[in-house]
Structure 1
Amino acid sequence: MDPNQPSQPTPPPGGWPAPGPYTSPGMPYTPYGAPGAAPYGPPPRTTNGLAIGSLVSGIVCCLPPLGLILGLVALPQIKKRGQAGKGLAIAGIALSAASCLLLVVGLVTGGFSSAWNSFNKGMEEASRSKSPSSLRTGQCFDDEGSSKKYTTEVTVVDCARPHDGEVTGVFKMTGFEAWPGEEAADELAQKRCETINSAYAMDTWAIPKDVWIHYYLPSEDTWRLGDRSVICGFGSAKDPFSGSVRSDRSTLTADQSSFLAIVNPIETVGYREPEDDPDEDFAANKAWAGELLAAIDAARADLGKRSWPGDSAGPVAELRKDLEAASKRWRALAGAADADAYWEGYDSAWNALPEDLGAEARTALGLTDTPPAGEGTQT
């Protein structure tokens, strides 16, 4: 025998037994799936779901009673089932009990009601705060950035309460491939918004004093982001105003809207009088006088084309006579040969034009018959 070879065990008397079907030299073998099998180790200890729910409900301040109930139900289940989660259940019970106590104190003292009202007020104000670009026709608003070059936030409010402005319409700036510049954008907005405002507030004498055309333009930065909207409206030059200025065809009768559509152009052209005197720019003043003459003649003719109801017929006829007399004076002014002749006819032309533009007819038609603070109107 080779002394380097390991010695072999000596067979027992009778020899080695034959191996059984499910035995091994080490330990019994249990096939996967048989009763008692645990191929991945012992099953983990589960956490009671009600205990988790109790803790969550205790943390969420509006569900403290539910957390208390869940915790009390979870404790006996944990003990009976050998589950984990006792600490969670106890913590949920403690938090829920504290929250319930605070809730009761708040209800008794009124603190909860005050906090809830403050929360609701804050949420309401937040929901009303908007970018100017989100404003829509008919909305009244407060301008939070009126003292800044650009407004970034406005608050929509009830038109019955004091407010800074009212939206009359929105239009898109078109025809520009690139940012046109503030001057060009402002010129376009002034022209388009004047037309939109005139259609929105036809009863111009109902517009409060110191309330004028107002609009929001895209900035160069927002233009790059695709903003092309111009928001038109009326805004207060001084103090906030109350009530809506809306008086369009949807709120007026056919006779009211027809009368205003006929006479309002006289006011509109009147406010376009050139800033330079005839001595400085005679051509511009003469052209403006011709425009006002055309508005007077058009109003006189159109008033005669319609049958006016009831008590308004007489006052409308008187207004037509006044406009006929004014037409003669303005025709002479528009035909002035030079600045001196223009000045000679200037006062008589204005004096011939009825300042009230048919106050009696307006009264008979149910319109505002007195300009704000006894002054002219705004368009």
Structure 2
Amino acid sequence: MAKTYKKFAHVGAVAPPDVVRAAEAAGQTGTVAANPEQYDQAYICPVTIGSQTLHLDFDTGSSDLWVFSNLMPSSEVDGQTEFNTNSAGATKKDGYTWSISYGDGSGASGVVYADTVNVGGATATSQAVEAATSVSSEFTSDTGSDGLLGLAFSSINQVKPTPQTTFFDTVKSSLEAELFTADLQSNGPGSYTFGYIDSSKYTGSITYTAVDNSQGFWGFTAGGYTVGGGGSNSTGTIGSAIADTGTSLMYLPTAAVQSYYSQVSGSSYSSSQGGYIFPCSASLPSLTVSIGGHGFVVPGSNFNYSPTGSGNTCFGGLQENTGIGFTIFGDVFLRAVYAIFDETQGSPRIGFAAQ
């Protein structure tokens, strides 16, 4: 109906009634490809901001949508697409600034604009777009990414003087369902969806568990774990964790990590590499983690992250969480599951199913 009103506007049709426009805006969905960088270290998605397409890292471990921009010094740009702050739809939010530091030491800062943001068909109008005026060298050297799209909770957004809503929080009331999903793949493109669950992406049933978002993250409780198969392998309990698409590896308590590598022939902790390594030819066991009473299996192949560049050794995709402050189920785990980040029930929950 909205299209019909607009089609005949030139011959006198009035603007669509409010109820028609509201119905048109409701129930939107979106799906976007998640393309892996080398070694699956990050997944980059095309996002339309105004009339430009930028490629952003979707990050459930932070809450800022920030981008490279034409306000940056050329020395900090290495082929990235820069958001044009002079474009017709970009409106500067005077007096607003942002600065964010990530756990790996990288960071960025800048000023804030509002613009239309379209993620695979799901559209947010007047979305806060944080235009970088400076980024750290880690982001400059990541030539495949033009910025980040945070999907944690808006409570930890870094804009001042007033935090802004994430893309998901901006659009969720207009989505067909207030949720988004991550279907990350090994060595190939996966996808994110907004507003619906794609039943073709998983097998069996979805197991949901409650989310603790008191720190702004998709936090949940993980139960026991088993290394490999059979009854002789070590088991224990993991405890509180977060699901973070913006972290490449899986970080578990020391006992779990040591149990795992005790079953990897030739593995050792390398001070020079900063973590556990093993012969690249080693046979890696699976890891089964209980969440919500259901066991999710991470295949051993997921734990071979990358060559170290030293001898024939590879760096482990499972490392200790010592000093990080969180147990993190990053992409190494998420590539084994179909993940649903769900706010349809009043209280947030997270769901996992086998891919």
| TM-score in terms of structure 1 length | 0.25
Which is strand-richer, 1 or 2? 2
| TM-score in terms of structure 2 length | 0.26
Which is helix-richer, 1 or 2? 1
Please tell me whether Structure 1 or Structure 2 has the larger radius of gyration of its CA atoms.
1
Q: Which has the higher contact order (CA 8 A, sep 6+)?
A: 2
